[in-house]
Amino acid sequence: MENFPPLASGFLPDALQPDTGEPGFGVYVHWPFCAAKCPYCDFNSHVRHQPVDQPRFTAAFLKEMEAMRRMSGPKTVTSIFLGGGTPSLMDPTTVAAILDGIARHWHVPDGIEITMEANPSSVEATRFRGYRQAGVNRVSLGVQALNDADLRFLGRLHDVADALKAIRLAREIFPRMSFDLIYARPNQTVEAWETELNEAISYAVDHLSLYQLTIEEGTPFYGLQKAGKLVVPDGEQSAILYEATQEITARHGLPAYEVSNHARPGAESRHNLTYWRYGDYAGIGPGAHGRLTRGRNKIATSTERRPETWLEQVERTGHGMVEEEVLGFEEQADELLLMGLRLREGVDLARWQQLSGRDPDPVREERLLEHGFIERLGNSRLRCTSSGMLILDAVVADLAC
């Protein structure tokens, strides 16, 4: 285990605006390009063997922002997230132009959370300092594992040395930093995961995202699993790994505030809280999704996934949207429940009742309460217990009926 130096004197964990508990309004920008496609990934990411025309894509991002601003109306932004793909393949000047564009179209107060995803293989000190100068104040690193064999298995282009270098730079340069790990990998024992997680916590500042490996249809891993060449831990073993994760992170002051996300109190991802609290967000870029309120309606937006097709459509029509769906109140209530029950703070029942026009079914609720899968927080909120989190999909399906 490497001994990291103390945090730089410029590290100000309280420099960002605090979370108010409100859903907020976020802006998500999707950079769809990667240096390589990971075999577990079903995100909208694409490999290009020729340099991407960043000025042309930047102009398209700015043009699509205009369309999203017309849909959203005037808003105060509470968070910005640059996701992908691999946003750390962008030039700092591209990032600066995108953030400046957001500030022109919406009100962006000082000190809001501005997150950028980065892969350790594409990290350079000069780039990181350029992103910080552009306005990024939180970085999320796709570390994924802390041993080289599993990094190769996961198709990552970096090794552990690269990951530690990236973590060190992030600690020095950005006010906030998070990194991801994937667990429940083939043949991973609880003891090995506990050792790896404790090591990760020693490097972390205030936030960790810890995801169980899931096999998504259409990925190379899916084909290997179907052929019997890839075996991941079964449900019982996955539950044991999950429970160990909760216990260790809580003991070290990084409790789960969402199923897969852990933070020191006050350092929760403001942008992701907007999703889980069912707030509005503008989705910009190829394959981006959004939720925008128009009057009493909530509009679900999605854009063309193929980057070059999206680019041409934006240049031709001013936006890359391929879908604008008006969500009914019952659909909104279901989405609110689905997202909110992921959170440790649970769901705002009054808001759910307003959308659904009904109370939770008392028989179903009582059954879930008796089994210890849910609990009430006074009369205002409903949340999953630790046991309920293990069967979250079933709990949501039962309550939504």
Task: Work out the number of other CB atoms within 10 angstroms of the CB of residue 334.
Answer: 19
User: Which pLDDT score, from 0 to 100, does residue 14 have?
Assistant: 44
Query: How far is it, in rounded angstroms, from Cα 386 to Cα 53?
Result: 47
Angle at 317 between CA 316 and CA 322, to 5 degrees: 115
* 177 bridge partner residues: 139
What's the burial of 172, exposed, middle or buried (CB within 10 Å: 0-12/13-18/19+)?
A: middle
Supply the pLDDT for residue 249. 97
Sign of CA dihedral 180, 186, 187, 190: positive
pLDDT reported for residue 5: 52
- H or E element that contains 181: strand 176-183
Nearest to 114 by CA among 85, 89, 167, 78: 78
Does the bond joining 218 to the residue before it have cis omega, within 30 degrees of 0?
no
Closest CA to 139 of 124, 159, 119: 119
Both structure tokens of 12: 């100000």
CA distance 194 to 164: 19
Separation between Cα atoms, residue 298 and residue 301, nearest integer Å = 10
Write out the H or E segment, with its range, that includes residue 290. Answer: strand 289-294
Angle between helices 329-340 and 392-400 in degrees, nearest 10 = 150
With a CB cutoff of 8 Å and minimum separation 6, the contacts of 103 are none
β-strand partners of 302? 289, 323
Cα distances from 284 to residues 4, 26, 30, 386, in angstroms, run 37, 11, 6, 35
pTM over 0.85: yes
Q: How far is CA 58 from the centre of its chain?
A: 22
| pLDDT tens string 191-238 | 999 999 999 999 998 999 999 999 999 999 999 999 999 999 998 999
Q: Which amino acid does the sequence have at 221?
A: F
For residue 125, the model assigns a pLDDT of 75
- DSSP, residue by residue, 110-164: TT-EEEEEE-GGG--HHHHHHHHHHT--EEEEEEE-SSHHHHHHTT-S--HHHHH
pLDDT of residue 296: 82
- List of residues 6+ apart from 229 with CB closer than 8 A: none
| Helix, coil or strand: residue 192 | helix
- What is the sign of the dihedral through the CA atoms of 3, 153, 190 and 145? positive
| pLDDT string in tens for the chain (401-residue length) | 566 655 443 333 446 888 998 999 999 999 999 999 999 998 889 999 899 999 999 999 999 999 999 999 999 999 999 999 999 999 999 999 999 999 999 999 999 999 999 999 877 778 899 999 999 999 999 999 999 999 999 999 999 999 999 999 999 999 999 999 999 999 999 999 999 999 999 999 899 999 999 999 999 999 999 999 999 999 899 999 999 999 999 999 999 999 999 999 999 999 999 999 999 999 999 999 999 998 888 999 999 999 999 999 999 999 999 999 999 999 999 999 999 999 999 999 999 999 988 888 889 999 999 999 999 998 889 999 989 998 998 999 888 87
